[in-house]
A and B are shown apart, each in its own frame.
Chain A
């Protein structure tokens, strides 16, 4: 085996703290496992990103998308921590059943990232349930300055139903299929942890008042609850129209960014948003 040639043996016996991509592996908090992608050398950003698990998927993300996103953002100088929340990926199930367990995990993640990179502002988020977690935690964690919500929360509005039903009204077969399957279909919204719409509107208002920056990206994978860019403010109130809130709607993209073109589009969009909103050092 070529790799086991004698000259390689000493190197192969060693455990390394980091890899060739500028990443380091960590165990922190109550045994949580994570990897930090350190930003490009010398850029000295004061803002770092934390990506949560997407559903039950480990920290690398669907189709390894979180790794690729983290590497892209680190290339722009923004350090990124991807970690497994308790009970997911490589992290053990938490022994504490405390209601603020997820917040304690976020605090531990921020402490680690601050100590490792010197960052003082934190952007949190991810896909689907990661976005739901981030939206809820941002309300209670003052060090969070930005939210990255990929197929995050939204609320069906009259406009949604109009856009959903109108095309189907002229296709009796579609109406029949919808009626027949209406109770049996797996609806992503059923698995989500959205606050009530009134709570979400109040939280949005509060976060915008705190000058938090929010990026919503909705894909075609969210079509069962989101089907038009205007639905965001219709569902989340006037705060969703404020300059602090950015929105991208990509109906041609799927929920987990299966295609390389969509992963690259996402990386470019988030990097540009971070540069715009967090490119300048905080006072």
Chain B
């Protein structure tokens, strides 16, 4: 059964959920959820993935970003340096836990879904030693991501039928149902995956559906930097309609992909 607790420093306390392995841990993985609304929509899918990995002997930690979920703070407190710090704090907790040291585990694998990829890459690219990263259908271009969020917000206000009046307006600091820092989108827009190169010798698994835009330039850049990249194709049958405004509130749980990915990552562990 998962363990629930808080961790972090001072007011920046984060909620953590550890999925302990059923047997002696073979490896560890830190799961980073997407930001804002997609984080809410994907929660049960990441819970299920974490449970499956724990059953296969992987020690998994999920956490809520500061200003998200059950962590302290408000969504207006979310900023780019803070996202990177949250990963650092969670990874540090895993690395220094009694369970990890007893099992002799190395640094945890870092896993990011969709928009979690950008802060994760920013964190991992700043490291000196090789890292082990898994990105699931990642958002790799901050500008494209920010524009997609703005467009989705516009649709929710005016065309998706959310409000009886199509003239409903939000305040300038609102996005996708959250109050955000006005600089957040600009700062995220400055991130580009191809510029965030992992240390040489790192391993990267890129799990994508075939219909997803192929991040060829990203893969090429990482390989040129000495990163071993494995592209793992998911069965296309249950690829979610991520940006469909009519499904904005529905849960995203591609069971087939979760099963396929869990099996692949467990085997690799």
Contact residues of A with B, CB < 8 Å?
Answer: 1-4, 8-9, 11-21, 23, 25-27, 31, 33, 35, 55-60, 62-64, 67-68, 88-90, 92, 220-221, 223, 251-252, 254-256, 258-261
Contacts and interface: CB of A to CB of B under 8 A. Distances in A.
Interface in B2-59: 2-13, 15-17, 37, 40, 43-44, 47
B9 A8 contact: yes
Contacts of B230: none
Contacts of B7: 12, 14-16
Contact of B70 (A55, A59, A220, A221): A59
Given A12-B9, A19-B15, A31 B1 contact: yes
B83 to A, nearest CB: 12
B43 A58 contact: yes
10 contacts: A1-B84, A12-B9, A13-B92, A13-B93, A27-B3, A58-B44, A67-B70, A220-B163, A223-B164, A251-B164
A251 B155 CA distance: 19
B85 interface: yes
A25 B70 contact: yes
B162 interface: yes
A17 B89 CA distance: 17
B4 A25 contact: yes
Nearest to B67: A64
Nearest to B14: A19
Interface in B58-110: 64, 68-72, 74-75, 84-85, 88-89, 92-93, 96-97
A26 B4 contact: yes
Given A3-B89, A59-B70, A15 B6 contact: yes
A24 B46 CA distance: 23
Interface residues of B, number: 55
A159 to B, nearest CB: 18
B88 A62 contact: no
Interface in B151-203: 156, 162-165, 168, 170-171, 174, 176-179
Contacts, number: 146
Given A20-B13, A67-B70, A260 B171 contact: yes
Given A64-B68, A252-B163, A92 B1 contact: yes
A59 B47 CA distance: 14
Given A12-B8, A259-B170, A63 B37 contact: yes
Nearest to B179: A260
| List of 10 A-B pairs having minimum Cβ-Cβ separation, nearest first | A63-B177, A19-B13, A16-B6, A15-B5, A220-B164, A20-B11, A25-B4, A3-B85, A56-B251, A20-B72
A261 B37 CA distance: 18
A231 to B, nearest CB: 16
B171 A27 contact: no
B110 to A, nearest CB: 14
Best-surrounded residue of A1, A14, A35 (most CB of chain B within 10 A): A1
Contacts of A13: 92-93, 96-97
Contacts of B249: 55, 57, 62, 256
Nearest to A63: B177
Contacts of A62: 40, 177, 249
A16 B164 CA distance: 44
Contact of B5 (A11, A20, A25, A56): A25
A2 B72 contact: no
A16 B168 CA distance: 42
Given A2-B85, A67-B69, A258 B156 contact: yes
Contacts of A261: 171
Contacts of B168: 252, 259
B24 to A, nearest CB: 21
Nearest to B43: A58
A58 B40 contact: yes
Contact of A1 (B74, B85, B170): B85
Given A1-B88, A19-B72, A31-B1, 6 more contacts: A26-B4, A35-B70, A56-B44, A60-B64, A68-B74, A260-B170
Contacts of B37: 63
Contacts of A67: 69-70
B126 interface: yes
B30 to A, nearest CB: 14
A31 B163 CA distance: 38
A16 B69 CA distance: 17
B266 to A, nearest CB: 19
Contacts of B170: 258-260
A221 B165 CA distance: 11
